[in-house]
A and B are shown apart, each in its own frame.
Chain A
Amino acid sequence: MRILICIDDTDNLESRGTGDLASEIARELELNGWGKSRYITRHQLLVHPDIPYTSHNSAMCFAADIEVSCLDRIIAYASAFLARESAAGSDPGLCVADVDRLASPDQLIAFGRKAKQSVVTMAEAYTLAEDLGVHLSEHGGTGQGVIGALAGAGLRLSGNDGRLKGHLAIETANGTVAVGDICAHPDVDEVRTLSGSLLAGAETVRLGDRVKTVLLNGKSVLLVVPVEGAPGGIGWRSCSKQQLKKY
């Protein structure tokens, strides 16, 4: 079965980040033989004076393919892990959604989009989670992180939100590499221009120092921009961090 695991509001200004905790849960899921984890995505939620957040109000989510019999163990592990590892003063929330058995995927996606645009309440989150048959739990503090956890799962499910955690390590020849070789990386599905055009495998791209992909149409996509007058016929370069900020 395919699940989404999303966590939010686990950190403070001195602690490790929520993404680090998500990575550890994903790693433990595999080490315990419960299933196979996929990449982690970061989802930006609304920044608003009425919303308590440490510095950025983002949720971290990953998908995993697991044995059905392992679902309860994974939820128990992640719950205990968040209760134990979340930072002092944080308000951690956990969402685990069984993608194939979601009562109404559109409603979960709509909730995620709503949480990017307006202030939503914990009561709304819990009501929707119950209606959809999604696990949603709080593990310290006010538990406010359940809102972001549910929203992050919806945004990941949408397939069109967020940046992938971490940078890609891809071997290049003097900084350039063919699109086909980029897509051979397990965490890259496509290479596209900022305007949306798909690049063919033979095209070459100059990669920056820290290359990152974004989630578009359910795929991990490396975005590139044209390089004018580039020597050797190299026509593209990976986007800068600044260019990826809006994702």
Chain B
Amino acid sequence: MWRINDRRERTFAGGNEDWPGAARMAARCAAFHPDVEEEQVADEDRSCYNCRYRRWTAASFVCGA
């Protein structure tokens, strides 16, 4: 579910609208940490899209965990 970008960072392969995929990835991630309320966008509490360590890009996010 990840791609490595030019900066050698892990980029989520599902893009920014793969809600089930982002929830599945977060479910198995030991580093998940919920972001502040106003920055959460997924309905599933535990989702990479709600994680403090995701850094949004134009098409997806980079995982900083």
**A residues apposed to B, CB below 8 Å:** 13, 16-17, 19-20, 42, 47-49, 53-58, 60, 163, 165-167, 240-242, 244-245
- A-B contacts, 25 of them at CB < 8 A, read A13-B52, A13-B53, A13-B64, A17-B39, A42-B38, A47-B57, A48-B58, A55-B55, A55-B56, A55-B64, A57-B56, A58-B38, A58-B39, A60-B38, A163-B38, A165-B37, A165-B38, A166-B37, A240-B43, A241-B43, A242-B19, A242-B41, A242-B42, A242-B43, A245-B41
Interface pair A16/B36, CB less than 8 Å apart: yes
- Bound-state Cα–Cα, A20 to B55, Å: 19
Residue of B whose beta carbon sits closest to that of A208: B43
> How many contacts between A and B, using CB within 8 angstroms?
54
Residue of B whose beta carbon sits closest to that of A12: B52
- Bound-state Cα–Cα, A167 to B35, Å: 15
- Bound-state Cα–Cα, A42 to B40, Å: 12
**Contacts A55-B53, A241-B42, A242-B43 known; A19 to B64 CB distance under 8 Å?**
no
Interface pair B56/A56, CB less than 8 Å apart: yes
Q: Does B46 contact A (CB under 8 A)?
A: no
- Bound-state Cα–Cα, A6 to B56, Å: 22
Residue of A whose beta carbon sits closest to that of B52: A13
Interface pair B54/A55, CB less than 8 Å apart: yes
Residue of A whose beta carbon sits closest to that of B56: A47
Residue of B whose beta carbon sits closest to that of A162: B38
Proximity string of chain B (24-58) to chain A, C-beta cutoff 8 Å, 1 when within and 0 when not: 00000000000111111111000000001111111
Residues of A within 8 A of B38 (CB): 17, 19, 42, 58, 60, 163, 165-166
Residues of A within 8 A of B53 (CB): 13, 55
Residues of A within 8 A of B58 (CB): 47-48
**B residues apposed to A, CB below 8 Å:** 19, 35-43, 52-58, 64
- Bound-state Cα–Cα, A241 to B41, Å: 5
Interface pair A167/B37, CB less than 8 Å apart: yes
- Bound-state Cα–Cα, A56 to B35, Å: 10
- Bound-state Cα–Cα, A47 to B58, Å: 6
- Bound-state Cα–Cα, A241 to B43, Å: 6
- Bound-state Cα–Cα, A53 to B57, Å: 11
- Bound-state Cα–Cα, A56 to B54, Å: 8
Residue of A whose beta carbon sits closest to that of B50: A241
8 closest cross-chain pairs (CB), A and B: A17-B36, A245-B41, A19-B38, A47-B56, A165-B38, A55-B55, A42-B38, A240-B43
Residue of A whose beta carbon sits closest to that of B16: A245
Measured between C-beta atoms, what is the minimum distance from B38 to chain A in Å?
Answer: 5
Given contacts A55-B53, A242-B43, 19 further A-B contacts (CB under 8 A): A16-B36, A17-B38, A42-B38, A42-B39, A47-B58, A48-B58, A49-B57, A55-B35, A55-B39, A56-B35, A56-B39, A56-B56, A163-B38, A166-B37, A240-B43, A241-B42, A242-B19, A242-B42, A244-B41
